[in-house]
Structure 1
């Protein structure tokens, strides 16, 4: 086993946010499950990562009960769960030690949010010497407000601002930033071998 699937922050905390209705990939659970099934069929390690902000009273505070996998995802026996408090999955966990102990050199990254915890994890992993595949459509995010926008906009206010960066644009920018530098960009269909092959001409 030299491969691992890293599933980042696919947790109920995000679904409790009003902005979740604007998520780019509402079918992320199905996409992640396809990657999990593939990894298990190959004997690859599946690592589940959750984000916690202890003592904040936020949706990411474990006392609120939302720091758990989104319904429809199921951890198998022997698959580790790591809880992080930083954006990337390495800094505040023992992920690197876990991967090193198992001789893993290749990582597939998926999860929430595309440009934040997923992208940051991919960049750190590359710098640590891992070969990284970024499963772009098994990540998701939501629109991002302009840096000069007022804080705490409602989803409707966010989308009414023409300066808002759409979720699809965020994902596209992440793909551009990572490709050829930090990671291979692949779709779930490509990784599972069911991508449509278009005829030439």
Structure 2
């Protein structure tokens, strides 16, 4: 039994970029995801938690290729010491970025992770956070992905909701994944963030 209360000192918003949440390539139920993510951000700000928007720099020709319309963050950022954007080139938001140093410098011990894609960037970043000793909450209704198409001779199509659930379940022994986004509370980290 996990004794973690869903209180976070930081919110990691994974890849909520126009390519993944708008248009015909948007994740299913993108509107609900955006509403819950915006609410998490607003409550994190109100609670003086650190808010980190991770922005993926996709390959040339991809929907999230840097400086294309799909690459832009969909939700507004209130840039400042307690709200930053960190660009990344890998699924894991800690790999090759300043995320670890930022969290350590602020004394963050607990964090919430939301965004897209569940089985890729969300899971990879949450898994590394757990491995680094952070207490992690991954609200079940605040991350999303695409359906997996059928693979003839292997499996039928897998609905996005199932993919998201499996991605969270794979780390559920180490992270709180049974709470709704609305149940997550926020508090300030012990030290002012150094950006």
Q: TM-score range by the shorter chain?
A: 0.7 to 0.9
Return the alpha-carbon distance in structure 1 between the equivalents of residues 33 and 61 of structure 2.
26
Check the 8 A contact 2:15/2:115 in 1, yes or no.
yes
| Alignment correspondent of 2:117 | 113
| Alignment correspondent of 1:64 | 68
| Alignment correspondent of 1:156 | none
Out of 73, 76, 79, the residue aligned to residue 74 of structure 1 is 76
Return the alpha-carbon distance in structure 2 between the equivalents of residues 15 and 44 of structure 1.
25
Say whether residues 1:184 and 2:188 are aligned partners.
no
Structure 1 residues 1-201: aligned runs within 5 Å: 3-15=9-21, 18-20=24-26, 23-54=28-59, 56-70=60-74, 73-78=75-80, 79-146=83-150, 148=151, 163-179=156-172, 181-185=173-177, 186-191=179-184
Return the alpha-carbon distance in structure 2 between the equivalents of residues 96 and 164 of structure 1.
36
1:58 Cα shift?
1.6
Return the alpha-carbon distance in structure 1 between the equivalents of residues 99 and 76 of structure 2.
20
Check the 8 A contact 2:17/2:64 in 1, yes or no.
no
**Stretches (4+) displaced over 3 A:** 15-19
Check the 8 A contact 1:25/1:141 in 2, yes or no.
no
Q: What's the RMSD between the two structures over aligned residues? A: 2.4
How many corresponding residue pairs?
Answer: 176
1:162 Cα shift?
6.6
1:84 Cα shift?
0.6
Residues 163 and 171 (structure 1), Cα distance of their counterparts in 2 relative to 1, 3 Å cut: same
- Please list every run of 5 or more consecutive structure 1 residues that lacks an aligned counterpart in the other structure: 150-160, 193-201
SS of residue in 2 equivalent to 1:100: helix
SS of residue in 2 equivalent to 1:46: strand
- Please list every run of 5 or more consecutive structure 2 residues that lacks an aligned counterpart in the other structure: 1-7, 186-195
Normalising by the residue count of structure 2, what TM-score does the alignment of the two structures yield? 0.81
Decide which structure has the larger Cα Rg and report it. 1
Q: Deviations over 1:73-107 (max 9, x none)?
A: 22113111011100011002110011111111111
Normalising by the residue count of structure 1, what TM-score does the alignment of the two structures yield? 0.79
